[in-house]
Amino acid sequence: MERPRHQGMAKNTYMRWRLPLVCLLWEVAMIILFGVFVRFGPEADAHWEEEKQEMNLTSDIENDFYFRYPSFQDVHVMIFVGFGFLMTFLKRYGFGAVGFNFLLAAFGIQWALLMQGWFHSFKSGKILIGVENLINADFCVGSVCIAFGAILGKTSPIQLLIMTLFQVTLFAVNEYILLNLLHIKDAGGSMTIHTFGAYFGLTVTRILYRPNLEQSKDKQGSVYHSDLFAMIGTLYLWMYWPSFNSAISEHGDAQHRAAINTYCSLAACVLTTVAFSSMLQKKGKLDMVHIQNATLAGGVAVGTSAEMMLTPYGSLIVGFICGIVSTVGYVYLTPFLESRLHIQDTCGIHNLHAMPGLIGGIVGAITAAAATEDVYGKEGFIKAFDFTGTYQTRTPSVQGGFQAAGIVVSLLMAFAGGALVGAILKLPFWGDAAAENCFEDDIYWEVPEDEESDVYHMHNPDKPASP
Amino acid sequence: MERPRHQGMAKNTYMRWRLPLVCLLWEVAMIILFGVFVRFGPEADAHWEEEKQEMNLTSDIENDFYFRYPSFQDVHVMIFVGFGFLMTFLKRYGFGAVGFNFLLAAFGIQWALLMQGWFHSFKSGKILIGVENLINADFCVGSVCIAFGAILGKTSPIQLLIMTLFQVTLFAVNEYILLNLLHIKDAGGSMTIHTFGAYFGLTVTRILYRPNLEQSKDKQGSVYHSDLFAMIGTLYLWMYWPSFNSAISEHGDAQHRAAINTYCSLAACVLTTVAFSSMLQKKGKLDMVHIQNATLAGGVAVGTSAEMMLTPYGSLIVGFICGIVSTVGYVYLTPFLESRLHIQDTCGIHNLHAMPGLIGGIVGAITAAAATEDVYGKEGFIKAFDFTGTYQTRTPSVQGGFQAAGIVVSLLMAFAGGALVGAILKLPFWGDAAAENCFEDDIYWEVPEDEESDVYHMHNPDKPASP
Amino acid sequence: MERPRHQGMAKNTYMRWRLPLVCLLWEVAMIILFGVFVRFGPEADAHWEEEKQEMNLTSDIENDFYFRYPSFQDVHVMIFVGFGFLMTFLKRYGFGAVGFNFLLAAFGIQWALLMQGWFHSFKSGKILIGVENLINADFCVGSVCIAFGAILGKTSPIQLLIMTLFQVTLFAVNEYILLNLLHIKDAGGSMTIHTFGAYFGLTVTRILYRPNLEQSKDKQGSVYHSDLFAMIGTLYLWMYWPSFNSAISEHGDAQHRAAINTYCSLAACVLTTVAFSSMLQKKGKLDMVHIQNATLAGGVAVGTSAEMMLTPYGSLIVGFICGIVSTVGYVYLTPFLESRLHIQDTCGIHNLHAMPGLIGGIVGAITAAAATEDVYGKEGFIKAFDFTGTYQTRTPSVQGGFQAAGIVVSLLMAFAGGALVGAILKLPFWGDAAAENCFEDDIYWEVPEDEESDVYHMHNPDKPASP
């Protein structure tokens, strides 16, 4: 039994030929490009035995695989389960949240391997990949998952794939400018992933503004169990964030330190989130939206500085501030952005990624500028900021300046890229749903008829179900 | 309040004495057999300090534990959460899916440690175990979890335990023939785990054919949240599959390469699954069954070749094909198998494991046959296929032939073993439910009375709830 | 629409100023204390390059991070997802279960880093932290999560934070007495974590006895999907328990051995749990409460001995016994404790942690007392029990005696500490709910209005919903 109200849709959301065509064509393109360009890096190639002798390594344990694979798997979980389930909070958009996230990330990692490969792992005409490339591809896709949060429930899967194609491309360009041209540090991606991804997504959703979105307001809330599903996403993001921020840091102390700093920042963030969630509600009750999101802001905000000597108490301070900023953002800023600036931000990524990402960039700039040989040790200082070769003479304060410039570049790239992509997605033939059908899986998915939803339609046909 | 319709059951599903007896007797048997046979391997034994000196190892990090433990834990998650939750999609069989999977796997790993130990780790009368044995035990049990998918909802827990006992035994024999007698490679188990496990399960379900199964058709569908629970299983299988296929590969490049190949194949598979899921549905809507299952076929199909020089684009091609084959299988082949061949395959393991497993075996044979010293390097070539000792003179094309023979052996073992076990399970005293009570937890579990199900029974007593 | 029955609450559960105040003040205190005391340990500090030379290490892979970080992440998942979701079984207390667990653990790990740091990692006025400290902090908080299980649904978040503050403090003192003064072994914390945590929690809940708790009896059960959420917690605890028990063992064989022993014990435990769950129910049906909890008892009970030469079959025996003890406890002991001793133990931690913890302490004492140089090897023997320095002449039987003393000390600390903390929590201004509002998220959380719950209130206003 099809629900009648969807029959008379104003918009054509029929995906049968468009979606398969995009998926198949793009995957064929991936195969061709991988065939031409992508090969195993020396540590994954069967010539490794010879490589080991050349590099004078005595044991297989020196293979980068053993330094980074556990972190890679944690990051992988964050992208697919973390982001996927975090967005299942909507009562009738769980399939879309976890399913479309799955789709765009699966495409995105392939395209990111190519784009990032051309910029960073290109040797004699081939992209040589290893576990670090897999992590970087996940990172890149992470920025798309963030942007997806802003437009969640309002776009077709084709639009998401198109956004992924462009955003991954721009991500790689921005990352190249920051890491290679400006020679800045951003191991956990406060700037490259969060600031860029969030402002990109916010620009896209601004351009796709839907004036009549309140028509689907009854579906924009959660139900009891959808909030619990979302907590799976939250917790996996929270628990594995130390792996995220340390995954591509230098072997040894830097990876170790990045994990500890992130752990501390996240712990502090939980307490201030709870404090402000209770404080800002009339009856002092906690709001699941804050617990699901603002508790993670601390991880975002040490993304740049985690591998630096931020110190545990420095991390606590950053987490402390971000829990407050993010929770206050959910209560006051999100409604303001929607009503005044027409930015409809479904998941509130402005509070979870945009502001904490900016803070993270600034904290990174300050921490870098404050670095001394005394604190890092002579060798450690050079290693931490890679002050070698052309950059041998760069001072900490100059480094801090370049770090700050990285924030600005990321913002500009995000606004320009988001505007371009938003304009493309506004074209009328991508199959997005009408305003009254947003946040509803039924448009793009075969949805089982639940007992409870039958009852719902019997008894409460017109009642808005949730705040 | 017991639901009345279960009172008049034709079959005796009373487990009170049978199930405890089987569990307790078998566990006592395990204790005795472990007591006689199982000891710690040298890397887990307290004599490790002496071992280290003998093997001339300078650091504890050379202990195999550090090479394989993270992969082991990922595989462990796949068996218990991955398979367990993948099967929770049925609206009223979640307890059975995750609970019986837990039971059979917990028994199976013990029995597999013994069976595989006798064949592979038997030294001076003792089975010496280490982390690699734990992984192999999980692998072996994986094939039972696959077979469980075919008979899900239609058997008693005793039947599952009996199937586990026999299937683990036959798995170990088949594995011994393939790995030791034929000297073939199958690190991720396309043949030993997937082909064997799936055709074994399909044979069992064929023999247990229930002509009146449409009586429980209303319970064979999902509800909204059960589909989300199943996605937890899907995603953990998908994310950790690179660990699965690389877990027992040689240290160094082989493990590294196996992870990358699997990652690529799985990514491609998602896109073709989405494409065909949409294309094969009249309204172009996506089907959760496909997303939950066919997206994983790419991991199955590089199980044999992942540690070989399949190359990233080769993996993409394999994944591309398998997403299509598997999705088409769900739409056309599963109904055909049920109506014409009387194979009732609850989870569609024919599409997820059987066909992709066969493809995996064939891809492995071709990749092995195509191997050259040029591609692998001189040392790498010997190491990759273990062409040492008796096998010093084996050529790639001969290896390819043996690999192909491995597929045939696995199929024969599966059909013969499945027929035998099916016949045993058909005996009338194992307590399976009547056709109208299949796919219903209430038979074997104390089930809480939910509000919604009360309502369901009040308002829709006769209505089939799902397509 | 607020549900009317909560309007007339006898007790003041208004959190708006109390909870934020506690969270903010305590977090500020953490920042100050971390600022004064906490610094990076040598393996996480930027001076690591110099450290490496001093310690004569040739590779970054020797950094403790690579030995322990994967285990740390597994333990982290157990604390936040494992314990958090295990407690979501209650139909209307999922937010509280997973949310308050999140809150108390996030605070607890910070306070534990300080408390344990002062006792164990204090050098020249600073606490030097590394990955092992993070694991130990999670362990310490684990004991609080256990105690939370006893009082689940009956306390305010402020009470939980106060309990955490005291329990972490006492945990650190008890741990210091056991590990440093008595020089005993307890890698997986049978005594320090489980025995202490459980009897502490049971004492607290005894003192907080609520005579009218049957007024919220209808909310003390589960619903179908809440039981599935709880299984996520169970499985993650079960799968990662080998990491838990091995996480801080000596590098090499001890870590390897601890993982294998735990794996074996847990596997055996599942079978006896299923056997007794079925046997003790009139109709032979399995009870989710047992599967969710008693299957884990085997992990608890090898917490002390897992790193010793318990041997795989010894582990199976321990698991065998604990599955039985724990399941029988749920059926007979929990009701007895409630009706006769007025111990209201929401999650049945007496069966999952208290009794298995005691068994674990005893098994550890026996295994230690039975140790011989023959079994461990000369070097292995000294290394396993750290019989160096002052303890050079300690014999296994003396060690066994000290191990047994550790059980007694842990019990005394738990009873005394629990009594003290219980008395503090009994003060009337912490905002706990009235008896009729226990096990109800609505008191402390903004809860979405579900369709099904509307229906529930319409049709079954007076009906108790679950057994």
pLDDT digits (tens, 9 = 90+) for B318-358: 999 999 999 999 999 999 999 999 999 999 999 999 999 99
Check residue A84 and give its pLDDT.
97
Residue C390 DSSP class: G
Counting residues of chain A whose pLDDT is more than 90, the rounded percentage is 89
Contact B222 A99 (CB under 8 A): no
Q: How confident is the model at residue C58 (pLDDT cuts 50, 70, 90)?
A: confident
Nearest CA to CA, how far is C153 from chain B (Å)?
19
Contact A48 B235 (CB under 8 A): no
Nearest CA to CA, how far is A325 from chain B (Å)?
32
Q: Give A291's contacts in chain C (Cβ within 8 Å).
A: 99, 102
- Let me know how long chain B is: 467
Contact C256 B458 (CB under 8 A): no
- Let me know how long chain A is: 467
Give the mutation candidate from B60, B217, B286 for the A interface (greatest A CB count, under 10 A).
B286
Measured CA to CA, the distance from residue C76 to residue C247 in angstroms comes to 11
For the cut 80, the answer to whether the pLDDT of residue A465 exceeds it is no
Q: How confident is the model at residue B102 (pLDDT cuts 50, 70, 90)?
A: very high
- Mean pLDDT, residues A204-226: 94
Check residue B467 and give its pLDDT.
34
- Mean pLDDT, residues A69-83: 97
- Mean pLDDT, residues B117-141: 96
- Mean pLDDT, residues B112-128: 96
Q: Give B35's contacts in chain C (Cβ within 8 Å).
A: 313
Gyration radius (Cα) of chain A, Å: 23
Q: Which of B27, B85, B92 sits opposite C272 (nearest CB)?
A: B27
Nearest CA to CA, how far is C287 from chain B (Å)?
5
pTM of the model: 0.95
Nearest CA to CA, how far is C385 from chain B (Å)?
11
For the cut 90, the answer to whether the pLDDT of residue C227 exceeds it is yes
Check residue C450 and give its pLDDT.
75
- Mean pLDDT, residues C33-54: 94
Check residue B457 and give its pLDDT.
40
Tokens of B185: 């490679």
Q: Give A59's contacts in chain B (Cβ within 8 Å).
A: 62
Contact C260 B40 (CB under 8 A): yes
Tokens of B181: 């007698």
Q: How confident is the model at residue A455 (pLDDT cuts 50, 70, 90)?
A: very low
Give the mutation candidate from C62, C249, C263, C293 for the B interface (greatest B CB count, under 10 A).
C263
> Which amino acid, B346?
T
pLDDT (tens digit, 9 = 90+) per residue, B376-416?
999 999 999 999 999 999 999 999 999 999 999 999 999 99
Say which residue the tokens 């040689």 belong to. Answer: B250
Check residue B459 and give its pLDDT.
39
Measured CA to CA, the distance from residue A99 to residue A85 in angstroms comes to 10
A332 closest CA partner among A287, A297, A280: A280
Q: Which of C222, C231, C384 sits opposite B98 (nearest CB)?
A: C231
Check residue B451 and give its pLDDT.
57
What is the number of CB-based contacts under 8 A between chain A and chain B? 246
pLDDT (tens digit, 9 = 90+) per residue, A40-75?
999 999 999 998 999 889 899 999 999 999 999 999
The neighbour count for residue A184, using CB atoms within 10 Å, is 27
Nearest CA to CA, how far is C318 from chain B (Å)?
10
Q: What are phi and psi of B207, to 5 degrees?
A: -70, -30
Check residue C449 and give its pLDDT.
80
Q: Which of A61, A222, A320 sits opposite C448 (nearest CB)?
A: A222
Nearest CA to CA, how far is A204 from chain B (Å)?
24
H or E element that contains A232: helix A224-246
Q: How confident is the model at residue C291 (pLDDT cuts 50, 70, 90)?
A: very high
3-state secondary structure C401-444: HHHHHHHHHHHHHHHHHHHHHHHHHCCCCCCCCCHHHCCCHHHC
Contact A106 B267 (CB under 8 A): yes
Give the mutation candidate from C12, C47, C104, C113 for the A interface (greatest A CB count, under 10 A).
C47
Show which subunits contact A, needing at least 3 CB pairs below 8 angstroms.
B, C
Q: Give B219's contacts in chain C (Cβ within 8 Å).
A: none
Q: What are phi and psi of B128, to 5 degrees?
A: -100, 115
Beta strand ranges found along B313-455 (DSSP E)? none
Measured CA to CA, the distance from residue A387 to residue A305 in angstroms comes to 17
- Greatest pairwise CA separation for chain A in angstroms: 74
Contact A465 C455 (CB under 8 A): no
Q: Which residues pair with C127 in a beta bridge?
A: C38, C122
Measured CA to CA, the distance from residue B402 to residue A376 in angstroms comes to 58
B127 closest CA partner among B140, B113, B142: B113
Q: Give B34's contacts in chain C (Cβ within 8 Å).
A: 264, 312-313, 316
Return the half-sphere exposure (C-beta side, CA atoms, 13 A cut-off) of residue A347: 33
Contact A452 C454 (CB under 8 A): no
Contact C110 A272 (CB under 8 A): no
Q: Which of B30, B80, B453 sits opposite C316 (nearest CB)?
A: B30
pLDDT (tens digit, 9 = 90+) per residue, A101-135?
999 999 999 999 999 999 999 999 999 999 999 99
Contact A248, A68 (CB under 8 A): yes
C-alpha triplet A279, A280, A282: angle, nearest 5°: 90
Contact B20 C317 (CB under 8 A): no
Give the mutation candidate from A1, A9, A64, A69 for the B interface (greatest B CB count, under 10 A).
A69
- CB proximity list for A421: less than 8 A, separation 6 or greater: A162, A163, A166, A167, A200, A204
Contact C43 A383 (CB under 8 A): no
pLDDT (tens digit, 9 = 90+) per residue, B416-427?
999 999 999 999
Q: How confident is the model at residue C1 (pLDDT cuts 50, 70, 90)?
A: very low
pLDDT (tens digit, 9 = 90+) per residue, C91-145?
999 999 999 999 999 999 999 999 999 999 999 999 999 999 999 999 999 999 9
C-alpha triplet C247, A305, A112: angle, nearest 5°: 85
How much is the ipTM here? 0.94
Q: How confident is the model at residue B10 (pLDDT cuts 50, 70, 90)?
A: low
- Mean pLDDT, residues A424-447: 94
Contact A453 C451 (CB under 8 A): yes
Q: Give A466's contacts in chain C (Cβ within 8 Å).
A: 448-449
Measured CA to CA, the distance from residue B62 to residue A44 in angstroms comes to 19
Nearest CA to CA, how far is B263 from chain A (Å)?
9
Q: Give B288's contacts in chain A (Cβ within 8 Å).
A: 95, 99, 445-446
Check residue A441 and give its pLDDT.
96
Rounded to 10 deg, the angle between the B253-279 and B312-328 helix axes is 40
Counting residues of chain A whose pLDDT is more than 70, the rounded percentage is 94
Tokens of C301: 């009970």
B122 closest CA partner among B39, B178, B228: B39
Check residue C451 and give its pLDDT.
57
Nearest CA to CA, how far is B113 from chain A (Å)?
25
Contact B14 C283 (CB under 8 A): yes
Angstrom CA distances, B355 to B191, B206, B233, B407, C77, stand at 11, 17, 21, 12, 35
For the cut 80, the answer to whether the pLDDT of residue C6 exceeds it is no
Check residue A450 and give its pLDDT.
75
For the cut 50, the answer to whether the pLDDT of residue C467 exceeds it is no
Name the average pLDDT for chain A: 93
For the cut 80, the answer to whether the pLDDT of residue B7 exceeds it is no
pLDDT (tens digit, 9 = 90+) per residue, B201-238?
999 999 999 999 999 988 999 999 999 999 999 999 99
Q: How confident is the model at residue B369 (pLDDT cuts 50, 70, 90)?
A: very high
pLDDT (tens digit, 9 = 90+) per residue, A334-354?
999 999 999 999 999 999 999
pLDDT (tens digit, 9 = 90+) per residue, C17-31?
899 999 999 999 999
Residue C250 DSSP class: P
C128 SS3 class = strand
Contact B20 C221 (CB under 8 A): no
For the cut 90, the answer to whether the pLDDT of residue C373 exceeds it is yes
Least confident of A314-318, A450-454, B151-155, B234-238: A450-454
- Mean pLDDT, residues C344-356: 97
Give the mutation candidate from A286, A311, A331, A460 for the C interface (greatest C CB count, under 10 A).
A286
Nearest CA to CA, how far is A364 from chain C (Å)?
16
Q: Which of C252, C268, C460 sits opposite B27 (nearest CB)?
A: C268
Gyration radius (Cα) of chain C, Å: 23
Q: Which of A16, A48, A70 sits opposite B253 (nearest CB)?
A: A48
Show which subunits contact B, needing at least 3 CB pairs below 8 angstroms.
A, C
- Mean pLDDT, residues B13-37: 95
Q: Which residue has better confidence, C6 or B430?
A: B430
Q: Give B287's contacts in chain A (Cβ within 8 Å).
A: 445-446
Show which subunits contact C, needing at least 3 CB pairs below 8 angstroms.
A, B
Check residue A16 and give its pLDDT.
87
